[in-house]
Amino acid sequence: MRLALLVIATVAILSLPFASASFQMEDDVQHLSCLAEGDCRLTTVPSGEDIVSGQSQGTPFSPERVLFEFELYPAQDELALLPERLENVEVDLRFDDDPTRLTWPDVTMTLVHGDGSTSWTMQARDGSAWPAYSEDEVELDLDEGRVMWPGDGARLLLSFSVDRIASWTLHLYGDSTFEMDVAWSADPDAADVDEPSSRSSPAAVEFESAHDGALVGGESDCFSFNIETHEALRVLITWDVVPLELQQQSAQPELRLSNGLLAPTPEVEVVADDDTTLTRYRWRALQEGEATLCFEGQNDRFQPYVWAGLLSFEGMGPVDPSGFTGEGLYPAGGGQVDGVGPEESLSEPPSGLRALPGVMLLCVGLLELTRRTTSWSVRFGLSVPGLVLILLGGVFNPLISASTAVQQDGELDLDGLIDERLAQLWDVAHPGVPESTLVTHSGATFGRLNGEELHVRLDIVSATPLEDGRYQLHPEGLDDLRLDERIFAHVAKEGDAGGPEADHVQRFVLLAGRSLLLDLIALEALLVTDERPSSSVIHLRTAMVDTAASGSVTAPAWGTRPASIDAGSWSVLQDALLPQRIAVSLCDCDLDLLDVRFVAASGLQSSDLPSHDGITSAGSFLGMPGFVTLLGVIMLGAGARLEHRRRSEAERLAERMLGDLHSWD
């Protein structure tokens, strides 16, 4: 009977849609399943035996080790991007001899994924909750990469050691599972519809038609066609968005003419947004006849595309500089909300020169104190307190306030923050940098990783009161910030050092356009204070911590947040800030031109902007320094007047008493 049930279970499990058993986006939960002894698998549906049990004969001197190996079956059949962590890992392992769970052994698990692996250990939980072994999150070790290619092996090893005679039971069929939220997956075979197309056997096509295909690994996709009479020849390639680790579109296509020579270098325009990347190549007056166009792939990369050709007799056409605005201005206000009142200007922080009148008054007061007093109560009740108030309000306050307005050690201004970000993006955009490093740094807010500090000095033009009583600050320099000038100036500076590669420059320009836009939007959203600043200079200083990135896995944004903003409030801000569409256009034509355009998120409200303690205002440490100084002057003057009066009275009294016997000369 048991054999018959096992056969039925085996037939049932084999009839399941195992094509969905690999790591894919729609399959979050992986089940630990066993069809029979020694035949255990990871499946996306509960299947196989309900339980697997055994009897241990181990001793403290010779523990018995039990090992299960759950194979992903069939092998990975799609291209997938692994997540950073597993969630809700549950193993329902039970030991009948100890209801207290105090002697239950630890369970060691190892997930082997492609060339990498991740191991962790779980202890039995106290109490009566089941399962006894569980973990909310397990960080995956992705040092060997997070891409799973079709055919890559994946398996889960589960083991435990028993040092006594005991019976154990492993509950399966939905009781032992883990969740893997695969960030992205695709089927390369289904996308690679251009095959067969190679250098030795190019596919014959009509040039002015659309052609689907995909670059899988280091293959070459080649197409032959006839070039007719034309003035301008264009090739338009629309690349599907894939994770940065897999992008292929940096390689320029190779166009070989009928005479066997390569076509000259074309003009290039790249328009990248969150959905696709469109690359336009333009040549002029090429030789007519049979030609071959080849796309060269890179190893361990994959990206689908659609390309089409166009022959025309137009003038400059859509790839010339007339398609650009000519000014890559940052669209200021993308991270701000409308206020309930007019903008309020802020006063300049006190200058250190304002301490000079206070010093002069202090010197006069000290001269007065050098004279002998006729009343110690007047001196210590009026004159000395007056001097202290003058010292605080007229000397210390302007000096300390002026010192808080200057740029501090390790602090950046807005230009320095942008230059530092561009330098970081230039380094990670280099073709030799691992894609995981590129994703981590480009997706971090202001490029600050976990544990790093953001420290910026900003000049504030004005502040706008919000409906909740807070103030939105408007920093100087954003309204006329030219993103294109800053980005191409950095390219020119790096070019002087040795001449960067064309694909490096293209990748950097597109990445910098998007990253700077998102960083500055986030900066605007963080410039909200509970009270009106006392001066036009503020300091933004906060530690950054890891958080869930916004956007898609192909274009992550704001993957770190200020430590004083909780994850929930930051998530609300991300949803409210993320633009509906970002388009970055690069024209590598007679002039280097760049457009950065976006459709702002709709419905941003002041309630979406979180409060935080990272902003301090430069300025007075006293509430009313002028009043304090004036009060000190009044007290010092009153004390001096009383002292003068008492001295005059003493002189007159002495004259009456002594007459001509004494002179006050």
Residue among 272, 281, 285 at smallest CA distance from 319? 281
**What is the helix (H) or strand (E) element at residue 626, kind and residue range?**
helix 625-658
- Global pTM value: 0.68
* 3-class DSSP assignment, residue 59: coil
- Long-range CB contacts (within 8 A, 24+) of 314-320: 314/231, 314/232, 317/232, 317/234, 317/282, 318/280, 319/234, 319/267, 319/269, 319/280, 319/282, 319/587, 319/589, 320/587, 320/589
Are 368 and 643 within 8 A, CB to CB?
A: yes
Residue (of 224, 223, 213) closest to 248 by Cα position: 213
User: What's the CA gap between 404 and 582, in Å, rounded?
Assistant: 38
What parts of the chain have a pLDDT lower than 50? 1-21, 315-322, 352-353, 664-665
Euclidean distance between CA atoms 276 and 282, whole angstroms: 20
Give the per-residue pLDDT at 9: 37
Give the span between the Cα atoms of 296 and 281, in whole angstroms.
Answer: 16
pLDDT at 6: 34
For 89, the token pair is 């890992």
Q: Which of 221, 224, 226, 217 is nearest to 193 (CA)?
A: 221
CB atoms within 10 A of CB 322: 10
| DSSP code at position 42 | E
pLDDT at 13: 36
Residue 384 backbone class (left: φ over 0; alpha: ψ -120 to 50; beta: rest): alpha
Query: Which residue is it, tokens 């201004």?
Result: 413
Cβ burial, residue 647 (10 Å; 0-12/13-18/19+): middle
